[in-house]
Amino acid sequence: MGKVKVCAFAVSLDGFGAGPSQSLENPLGVRGTELHNWFFKTKTFQKMHGGGDGGVEDVDNAFAERSFDNIGAWIMGRNMFGPIRGHWPNNKWRGWWGENPPYHTPVFVLTHHKREPLEMDGGTTFYFVTDGIESALKKAKDAAKGKDIRVGGGVQVIREYLKAGLIDELHLVYSPIFLGSGENLLSGIDMPKLGFSVIEKAYTKDAMHVVLSKNK
């Protein structure tokens, strides 16, 4: 049976996984893109975004590459899919990523508003789930066929899955910046009580990688 995982999720030194005032112009919030400076330089990122053979192959890249291993389905929140709020006015918004998103698996988007599945190039199909996180997880597990489920974000979605005890493993990437405000990932969540401990860590010039797993 596959794990339910959070992979390569970037967090500021003061605990924020996104900046304030998310919008079309700032999908990760003000200064939120700075959280991912460790990732932008990597071969994995460049390959995902049409950079060919560019990008560095270092420890950061190894973690980035590994974050896509054995993933059979993704779960994400509506805010991660796009900036539209409320009822879908139409089906024109097709995500941030163009016609060939980097997921290449079924992706289950948590929302309160119904929308028909959206089939994209490269094997990605977005399914819009309106009946909660446990329903989305069941659908993702069925679609993944024994592979891992990656909970992609945003912050609120990860918090909900954590508090419900549904996450098996987290790989957090602490970026060397302070955001001061935004969406705090772990505030008020007792990770030891949930059974998590650190099983791996690595330090680079641009990040600190920490992998946490539930004690069995």
Residue 84 has what pLDDT? Answer: 86
Render pLDDT for 162-181 as a digit per residue (tens, 0 to 9). Answer: 999 999 999 999 999 999 99
For residue 49, pLDDT beyond 80: no
B/e letters for 180-193, b = 16+ CB within 10 Å, e = fewer, are eebbbbbeeeeeee
For residue 50, pLDDT beyond 80: no
Distances (CA, A) of 136 to 57, 127, 128: 34, 9, 9
| Residue 171, phi then psi, degrees to nearest 5 | -115, 110
For residue 35, pLDDT beyond 70: yes
| Residue 88, phi then psi, degrees to nearest 5 | -70, 120
For residue 215, pLDDT beyond 80: no
How far apart CA 177 and CA 23 sit, in angstroms, is 21
For residue 56, pLDDT beyond 90: yes
Q: Residue 138 in 3-state DSSP? A: helix
Which conformational region is residue 131 in: left (phi greater than 0), alpha (psi within -120 to 50 degrees), or beta? Answer: alpha
Q: Residue 75 in 3-state DSSP? A: strand
Residue 51 has what pLDDT? Answer: 64
Lowest mean pLDDT among 78-92, 124-138, 156-170: 78-92
Backbone Cα Rg of the chain: 17
Q: Where are the domains of the chain?
A: 4-84+99-214
Render pLDDT for 93-122 as a digit per residue (tens, 0 to 9). Answer: 999 999 999 999 999 999 999 999 999 999
Structure letter (DSSP) for residue 192: H
Please give the CATH number for the structural domain made up of 4-84+99-214: 3.40.430.10
Nearest to 8 by CA among 76, 60, 74: 60
Tell me the pLDDT band of 216, cut-offs 50, 70 and 90.
Answer: low
pTM of the entire structure? 0.95
Residue 153 has what pLDDT? Answer: 87
